Amino acid sequence: MSSILIKNCRWIVTQDEERSILKNCSVYIEDGLIAEVSSKIPVEAENVIDGSRMICLPGLINLHTHSPMSLLRGYADDLPLMEWLENKIWPVERKLSPYHCYLGALVSFMEMVKTGTTFFVDMYWNPIEIARAADEIGLKGVVSIGVLDDFKSYLRDFMIREVEKFIVDVKRFSPRVIGAIGPHAPYTCSEELLLKCVDIAEREDCLLHIHLAETRREQALFEEKFGVREVTFLSNLGFLSPKVLAAHCVWLSKNEVKLLGESGVRVAHCPVSNMKLAVGGVAPLPELIECGVTVGLGTDGPASNNSLDMFETMKFCSLIHKHHRWDPTMASAQLVLDLATINGAKAVMLENVCGRIAEGFAADLVLLNSFEVNLLPNIFPHSIVSHLVYSARGFNVSHVIVDGELIYSNGRFTRVDEGEIYSRFLSEVEKLLSP
Ligand SMILES: [Zn+2]
């Protein structure tokens, strides 16, 4: 029986029903679960962490990324989306081996852990290598196999075989990795491929992770080609359901927002990537929430953000909606923290498992050193959530616990050698990108 006691935390941001913020309390973890949260825990544990300078919060949940793309961070920036993809990203991606994807994912997952993420949703190819990387670090998440057929039947048949194989293979991995299917977007997948993905997701009870209504140009071209808007097209096809986790959802009409709410679709809002790629609008977050859509936050890939720091994404999320609506009450710090924790868990159908610090929940926890200069003063409870969203940086994180295992302790990974991985990564990137 393994146990950890985080003793006498300066603050615990529980994210429970009342959003309680506790002072001078301890968290006792046993066999992967939070066993007790209290000011009096009369037990000792195998591992005791002094929490007296720490803010303890639920691990953050990143709902959309493409982890191997750390290989291409900074390779091409400041370009329109399609030019960026067609002339820069896709030509290099065609050269990526399974080993490249594994190393890229490994480095991305290390950045996520260092910046307080304990659960991710990924979409890429070579997904088994991505699952292997997550398992090696000890991180938890959904790995979806990215598929597209560009409306060509031979590619469609190949992709369907790949999905079927992946769904079987991914079950070999640790219980921390969940498999899913990632049809890339309505403009790159045929109706037949989308429907086949729905069939397999129903049969295997897994998520369908898709890009949706990301840019103004994409929506316009789609309408020109198919005569309907993307969400309406997917609705008519019977694709929309609570199994769908749709990334972006920027270019939506009021009717489409309602359709998403009625069909139970979950949304991964990616404000930093949207701004960097200048998608031409702001996702209608207040309207989505009003229509009952579960919205969480994602960073998008490390080549289109270019950071995987969810603290940064929380801040941008709050600022973009305040700025866009001329209303400083929009996207409050508490709402944004909810998106990155409770709603993230709900979006992947794990709301009774993670996203809160409460007895019986998975021990997915993050500790920040509150005695850093950007987190002062930290005397009153009302300022703590504000600090987390507006002034914390991912690198304030000192400890990360996933499923009751300390995978990052005092700034060091417990399972892997950080320096050795960076050396391997740099030498592969040099070979891959040298002219
Ligand atoms: Zn994406």
Tens of pLDDT along 100-148?
A: 999 999 999 999 999 999 999 999 999 999 999 999 999 999 999 999 9
Please tell me the distance between residue 60's alpha carbon and the centre of ligand 1 in angstroms.
18
pLDDT at 63: 98
pLDDT over 90 (residue 173): no
Please tell me the distance between residue 143's alpha carbon and the centre of ligand 1 in angstroms.
13
Please tell me the distance between residue 42's alpha carbon and the centre of ligand 1 in angstroms.
47
- C-alpha distances in Å from residue 154, one per residue of 91, 151, 190: 21, 9, 12
Please tell me whether the peptide bond between 369 and the residue prior to it is cis, using omega within 30 degrees of 0.
Answer: no
**b/e string for 16-35 if b means 16 or more Cβ within 10 A?**
beeeebbeebbbbbbebebb
Please tell me the distance between residue 113's alpha carbon and the centre of ligand 1 in angstroms.
20
* Of 279, 211, 212, the residue nearest 252 (C-alpha): 212
Please tell me the distance between residue 435's alpha carbon and the centre of ligand 1 in angstroms.
27
pLDDT over 90 (residue 82): no
Please tell me the distance between residue 296's alpha carbon and the centre of ligand 1 in angstroms.
14
Please tell me the distance between residue 300's alpha carbon and the centre of ligand 1 in angstroms.
5
Residue 314 contacts residue 343 (beta carbons within 8 Å): no
β-bridge partners, 123: 144
Q: Which helix (H) or strand (E) holds 316?
A: helix 310-325
Task: Please give the radius of gyration of the chain, using alpha carbons only, rounded to the nearest integer.
Answer: 21
Secondary structure of residue 156 in the 3-state scheme: helix
Residue 19 contacts residue 341 (beta carbons within 8 Å): no
Please tell me the distance between residue 268's alpha carbon and the centre of ligand 1 in angstroms.
10
Q: Where are the domains of the chain?
A: 3-58+355-413, 60-347
For 315, list phi and psi in degrees, rounded to 5: -65, -45
Mean pLDDT estimate for the chain = 95
Please tell me the distance between residue 211's alpha carbon and the centre of ligand 1 in angstroms.
6
Please tell me the distance between residue 110's alpha carbon and the centre of ligand 1 in angstroms.
19
Q: Which residues have a Cβ under 8 Å from the Cβ of 210 and sit 6 or more positions away?
A: 182, 183, 184, 185, 186, 244, 245, 246, 247
Please tell me the distance between residue 224's alpha carbon and the centre of ligand 1 in angstroms.
23
Please tell me the distance between residue 359's alpha carbon and the centre of ligand 1 in angstroms.
34
Please tell me the distance between residue 98's alpha carbon and the centre of ligand 1 in angstroms.
19
pLDDT over 90 (residue 434): no
Pure H helices in 205-282: 216-226, 230-237, 254-263, 271-276
Q: What is the mean pLDDT of residues 48-53?
A: 96
Q: In which band, very low, low, confident or very high, does the pLDDT at 84 lie, cut at 50, 70 and 90?
A: confident
Please tell me the distance between residue 209's alpha carbon and the centre of ligand 1 in angstroms.
10
pLDDT at 382: 86
CA 338 to chain centre: 14
Residue 403 contacts residue 140 (beta carbons within 8 Å): yes
Reported as a single tens digit per residue, the pLDDT across 294-328 is: 999 999 999 999 999 999 999 999 999 999 999 99
Q: What is the DSSP string of 166-199?
A: HHHHGGGS-TTEEEEEEE--TTTS-HHHHHHHHH
User: Structure tokens of 365?
Assistant: 């926890």
Please tell me the distance between residue 62's alpha carbon and the centre of ligand 1 in angstroms.
12
pLDDT over 90 (residue 332): yes
Please tell me the distance between residue 66's alpha carbon and the centre of ligand 1 in angstroms.
6
- C-alpha distances in Å from residue 225, one per residue of 184, 218, 222, 273: 18, 11, 5, 26
Please tell me the distance between residue 372's alpha carbon and the centre of ligand 1 in angstroms.
33
Please tell me the distance between residue 68's alpha carbon and the centre of ligand 1 in angstroms.
12
Please tell me the distance between residue 64's alpha carbon and the centre of ligand 1 in angstroms.
6
* Of 25, 139, 50, the residue nearest 403 (C-alpha): 139
Please tell me the distance between residue 184's alpha carbon and the centre of ligand 1 in angstroms.
8
Please tell me the distance between residue 287's alpha carbon and the centre of ligand 1 in angstroms.
22
How many whole angstroms separate alpha carbon 368 and alpha carbon 241? 37
For 38, list phi and psi in degrees, rounded to 5: -165, 160
How many whole angstroms separate alpha carbon 118 and alpha carbon 104? 18
pLDDT at 175: 86
CATH code of 60-347, in short, is: 3.20.20.140
Angle of helix 191-204 relative to helix 153-169, nearest 10 degrees, comes to: 10
pLDDT at 1: 63
Please tell me the distance between residue 8's alpha carbon and the centre of ligand 1 in angstroms.
40
β-bridge partners, 269: 297
- Answer whether 3-58+355-413 and 60-347 agree in fold: no
Secondary structure of residue 34 in the 3-state scheme: strand
- How many of the other CB atoms lie within 10 Å of CB of 320? 20
Please tell me the distance between residue 410's alpha carbon and the centre of ligand 1 in angstroms.
32
Please tell me the distance between residue 118's alpha carbon and the centre of ligand 1 in angstroms.
19
- CATH class label, 3-58+355-413: mainly beta
